[in-house]
Structure 1
Amino acid sequence: MKITKKWLKKLCQEQQLYSTPSCNEVLYLHYKGIEKIENLEEYVNLATLWLEGNAITTIENLDHLEKSLRCLYLQENGIETISGLTSLKALAQVNLSDNQIKSIDQDSFAGLDQLTSVQLCRNRLQDNSGLAGLVAVPNLSTLDLTGNNIADVRVLEQVFMKMPSLKVLMLVGNEVIKSMSTIGVPYRFTMVAALETLTYLDDKPVFDDERRAVSAWKAAGGLRLYLERGTLSDDEKRQIKMAAGEAMRVEREAIRVEKEAAHRKNMDDFEQMIRQARIDKGLDPDDCPLFRKTAGAGEEEADEDMPGLEDEEGEDVETGEESAAAGVEAEAEAEADEPEVGEASPEPAETVQGDTTFLTTAEDEASEVDVDEVD
């Protein structure tokens, strides 16, 4: 598919964009089978350009967007080399995921001081030297390298620790995570301790509590397991792990105690606020369900509707014999309440003799029996 001016105007009409190219700030050219970026010169005010899911192999012909373009989406193409971006001085976000990029040259993002987010998921990045171009981006805060082939543990000190603005880092799907564990270096602790500006690592945020605990781990020498991994003896590693682990445990306990104290204070403040509100309304502050005392140590509340529950040998618990006797008595009382035969007029019953049906009662039957006996 080739981009032509006529095709672009027709596309803008279909997408309900402006017919005047310079009036458009966004252009959707994704999944169109485009092989080359061209004929966009009239669209001088584009802030966002979608070129996702095409057959583009080279980033080119975007110099006219030097002052306007902020977001460029080039994922799912066939790009092998990052080029043609250095003139885009306003560029803040670029997505180059799902391409064929093997390395990032020193000048790939040169001069892009506004660039804060780079997505390079599922490319062919492998060597630490191939990531050198990322270090040259002074304000890069979000970096997604998910699903590449990065395996060298030195990438932390050679690349990431040289990025002062890095806040979000995605490394899921890279061998480096397993490599750190293999040499006895805890991956997440190490990354958070080494990158002090980090607020999000892989699929989890770095909360203040975690940062504080990891700082204690680092202060106790935990980061030495990584930085001095080639010189520490096994005994030194073991001692460092024990000391750093204990420091983290103590800090976590301190955090827990502080949170409980803060929670209690919040509840006390809330109670005081409610009490004052009731006083202001002329109500008894203690006559509130929230403040009524519940059963505590040495203090029990009586409930007349609920029978007392004690041990099996206690007085309030029925034994099996007592329960059975009570059942027998109940049955006897029920039988005593039933009417005896002859005391009430029972319902008549049907009797069939030949083709004739008679209604008879128990009294009639009894009379017949008496007559027979007399005979």
Structure 2
Amino acid sequence: MSFDMSPAGLKKLCREKRLYASLPELNEVLHLHHRGIVEIKGLEEYTGLKTLHLESNAILKIKGLDCLMNLRCLYLNQIKCLKGLSCCQCLRQLNLSGNMLCLEEDVAHLTKCKSLQSLDISRNKLDNEESLQIIQSLRLTLLKMSGNPIVSTIPYYRKLCLVQMPTLTYLDESPVSEHERRLARAWAEGGNEEETSMRETIRKEEAHQREIHRQAFEAMIEEATAELAENERKQREAAERAQEERAEAAAREEQCRAEIAAREEAKRRQEIQEQRRAELAAREEKRAAELVAVEEELAAELAAREKNLSEEWIIERLECADKERKFKKELQERVLERVAQDKNVARPMLWGTKGYKSLWEIATNIDDST
């Protein structure tokens, strides 16, 4: 059953593929291959399409693409004529492999696609030189024509394409190198001899280029070796500097530790000295207190002794005074008695003598109260 390529059918397909069904102009890629389509239609609203896949269908004519002004990639099959492509001015990639193109009139409309860069027209029925000339007039970068009779019937097909199409970078199943292009131009200018000469020139150029590359590689090796040696030297110097810095840091750290230890030792010694001074002051204070106590005790003892001595002395003096008084009294009595005796016996004769006067003076000076 063929696909209904109507606006309703396309919107249904967009909904199934999760594309923009309500805004068809936002769709950029549309896959309609393997759906049995025989006629292109219903694309009027899909103005934003850039890639359209219509291969593996039954489409014989190209039409209904007038509205696709932004189309860049188009895939078709079963096409016999390319009439209808002139409206696709932005078309860059066109896949017409496996179609039914055979005459130059069938491909003549390709010249109106000014933006075309990639053309796959393989497995068609192109067999005349005019068709190839039309294709060679295009500014293509990729061309696939394998599977067409013209590829095997025209001598030097690949060289002719390379000479006529200077922008080509990929032809059929292999890329185009600059050397291959130069050989093709030499062949076109002077035949096989010129191609052989160009091949030798290219060989020498390649050898020279290889020599340049070898020298550059050796210079790069030398430069890399020198740079490696320089880097190793710098690394050694950096390692030595780092080692010196570590040694200096270790020395500074050791010095700091020594200074800290010295300060701590000085502080400890100062604390010990202060402690000793405090202990000495405490001992001195204790000793002073003890001395004061001893002095007070001695003073008290001396005071007590003085008190005791004073009392004893007073008692002794009193006793001495009493003894002296008794002695004086006895002496007075004896003197008076003697005086009395002398008075009674020979008073006129004793009064005037020296002995009498001294005895009388002693007797009169005796104080009974002392």
TM-score by length of 2: 0.56
Closer, same or farther in 2 for the Cα pair 1:228/1:153, shift >3 Å? farther
Equivalents in 1 of 2:9, 2:196: separation in Å? 67
- Give aligned pairs, total: 233
* 1:162 paired residue among 161, 164, 172: 164
Inter-CA distance 249–46: structure 2 relative to 1 (3 Å threshold): closer
Name the counterpart of 1:22. 25
- The structural deviation recorded for 1:205 is 5.1
Change (3 A) 1:65 1:204: closer
Cα distance, 1:163 vs structure 2: 3.0
TM alignment of 1:48-127, pairs within 5 A: 48-66=51-69, 68-74=70-76, 77-105=77-105, 107-127=108-128
In the alignment, which of 250, 253, 272 is matched to residue 204 of structure 2?
250
- Checking the alignment, whether the CA contact within 8 Å between 1:108 and 1:133 is kept in structure 2 is no
Conservation of the 8 A alpha-carbon contact between 1:109 and 1:136: no
Question: In the alignment, residue 186 of structure 2 is paired with which amino acid?
Answer: L
- 1:128–1:158 CA contact under 8 A, matched in 2: no
Q: Which has the higher helix share?
A: 2
What is the distance in 2 between the residues matched to 1:159 and 1:242?
19
SS in 1 for 2:112: coil
8 Å CA contact 1:27–1:49 kept in 2: the answer is yes
| Structure 1 stretches of at least 4 aligned residues deviating more than 4 Å after TM superposition | 154-160, 226-229, 239-246
CA drift of 1:223 comes to 2.9
Provide the residue aligned with 1:43 in structure 2: 46
Is the counterpart of residue 141 in structure 1 residue 141 in structure 2? Answer: yes
Partner amino acid, structure 1, of 2:174: D
The aligned residue for residue 236 of structure 2 is 282
What is the alpha-carbon root mean square deviation over aligned residues?
3.0
Distance 1:97 1:241, change over 3 A: closer
- The answer to whether the Cα contact below 8 Å between 1:126 and 1:148 also exists between their aligned partners in 2 is yes
The question of whether the paired residues in 2 share the 8 Å contact of 1:90 and 1:112 is answered with yes
Distance in 2, Cα, partners of 1:107 & 1:282: 74
Aligned partners of 2:64 and 2:163: how far apart in 1?
34
Name the counterpart of 1:263: 217
Structure-2 residue corresponding to 1:203: 174
Which whole-Å CA distance do the structure 1 matches of 2:73 and 2:133 have between them? 22
* 1:17 maps to amino acid: L
**Does structure 2 conserve the Cα–Cα contact (< 8 Å) formed by 1:59 and 1:82?**
yes
Q: Which whole-Å deviations, capped at 9, do the CAs of 1:191-227 have from their partners, x for residues lacking one?
A: xxxxxxxxxxx42452x6x46xx85x78xxx935x55
2:5 alignment partner AA: I
In the alignment, does 2:69 pair up with 1:33? no
Q: Aligned partner of 1:59: which letter?
A: I
1:3 to 2:26 alignment: no
Equivalent-residue separation in structure 2 for 1:241 and 1:166 (angstroms): 20
Deviations 1:160-194 (A, max 9, x none): 53334222222xxxxxxxxxxxxxxxxxxxxxxxx
Tell me by how many angstroms 1:62 deviates. Answer: 0.3
Three-state SS of the structure 2 residue aligned to 1:281 is helix
Q: 1:69 touches 1:90 (CA, 8 Å); kept in 2? A: yes
The answer for the alignment partner of 1:355 in structure 2 is none
- Secondary structure at the aligned position of 1:49 is classed as strand
CA offset digits 1:70-91 (Å, max 9, x no partner):
11111xx211222211111111
Counterpart of 2:110 in 1: which secondary structure?
A: coil
Structure 2 CA distance for aligned equivalents of residues 159 and 243 of structure 1: 21
Structure showing greater Rg: 2
Q: In 1, Cα distance between the equivalents of 2:42 and 2:199?
A: 61
TM-score (norm 1): 0.55
